[in-house]
């Protein structure tokens, strides 16, 4: 997608925007090709796809190293260590370690990651049993989006417990940055707006709102732009 739309990306760079371009030929992720269990990470990678990166850590409190794997099409030139356009298609896979060896599929998100933005970066971390997925993208107008997931024992699924979005401008002094932090466990949203003033001064204002305490799960999160 990004190679085919290079001219649009360059035009957007001149305008300072982060375009949302829709891939017409991007390969859909073959969800049905991912098994429930496997001996190792590679057993869960469908034909024509590859693991671009992965992190390990304990996600269910059993002391064993679980895995979170970033999957992209085999032919993509995406470099996880560089600053590039987002892959045409991608997915995140959660694998929990089995007590007797091997791994089992515990979550698969095919629309959590952006696929239509320039200067995209992904950072995955596991911290005290919480999976943190951070995406940063855009050229002049930048979005930094973080999702936090935790295993819900009653369902065996990974529940979205928090979402942060920080929108800012490069350079930041030209526009007031806005950070929205949502806690779905407490049902609270905190909006923080930065205000740049004369002489390099800076101050922040805050507003708190109540939000519905609804359950949303890793597999169902959709951060892709609307099509059509």
Tens-place pLDDT, residues 168-186: 998 877 788 999 999 999 9
In a domain, 67, yes or no: yes
Judge whether 139 and 12 are in contact, CB under 8 Å: yes
Residue 198 DSSP symbol? G
Give the model confidence (pLDDT) of 35-85 as tens digits. 999 999 999 999 999 999 999 999 999 999 999 999 999 988 888 888 789
**Residues 6 or more apart from 40 whose CB is under 8 A from it?**
102, 103
- Is residue 29 scored above 60 in pLDDT? yes
In the chain, how many domains are there? 1
In a domain, 30, yes or no: no
pLDDT band at 101 (very low <50, low <70, confident <90, very high): very high
What average pLDDT does the segment 156-179 reach? 92
What average pLDDT does the segment 18-32 reach? 67
Percentage of residues of the chain with pLDDT beyond 70: 87
In a domain, 33, yes or no: no
Domain interval for residue 190: 48-220
pTM of the model: 0.85
What does the mean pLDDT of the chain come to?
A: 88
**In this structure, what token pair is assigned to residue 75?**
């032919």
Percentage of residues of the chain with pLDDT beyond 90: 70
Judge whether 191 and 202 are in contact, CB under 8 Å: no
Please identify which residue in the block is written with the tokens 């992209």: 72
| Other C-beta atoms lying within 10 Å of the C-beta of residue 134 | 15
**In this structure, what token pair is assigned to residue 197?**
């003033």
Judge whether 168 and 142 are in contact, CB under 8 Å: yes
d(CA 86, CA 215): 28
In a domain, 19, yes or no: no
| Other C-beta atoms lying within 10 Å of the C-beta of residue 146 | 17
- Is residue 122 scored above 70 in pLDDT? yes
In a domain, 14, yes or no: no
In a domain, 96, yes or no: yes
d(CA 129, CA 150): 7
In a domain, 68, yes or no: yes
What average pLDDT does the segment 14-40 reach? 71
In a domain, 168, yes or no: yes
């Amino acid at each position: 997608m990004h190679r085919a739309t290079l001219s649009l990306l360059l035009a957007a760079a001149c305008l300072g925007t982060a375009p949302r371009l829709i891939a017409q030929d991007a390969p859909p992720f073959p969800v049905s090709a991912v098994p429930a269990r496997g001996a190792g990470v590679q057993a869960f990678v469908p034909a024509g796809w590859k693991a671009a990166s992965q992190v390990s850590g304990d996600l269910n409190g059993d002391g064993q190293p679980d895995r979170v794997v970033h999957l992209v099409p085999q032919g993509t030139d995406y470099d996880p260590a560089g600053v590039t356009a987002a892959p045409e298609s991608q997915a995140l896979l959660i694998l929990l370690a089995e007590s007797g060896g091997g791994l089992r599929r515990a979550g698969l998100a095919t629309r959590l990651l952006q696929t239509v933005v320039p200067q995209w970066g992904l950072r995955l971390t596991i911290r005290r049993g919480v999976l943190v997925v951070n995406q940063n993208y855009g050229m002049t107008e930048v979005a930094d989006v973080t999702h936090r997931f935790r295993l819900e024992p009653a369902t065996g699924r990974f529940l979205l417990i928090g979402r942060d979005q920080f929108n800012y401008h490069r350079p930041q002094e030209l526009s007031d940055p806005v950070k929205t932090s949502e806690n779905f466990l407490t049902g609270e949203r905190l909006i923080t707006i930065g205000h740049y003033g004369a002489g390099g001064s800076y101050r922040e204002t805050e507003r708190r709102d109540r939000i519905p305490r609804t359950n949303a799960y890793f597999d169902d999160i959709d951060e892709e732009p609307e099509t059509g």
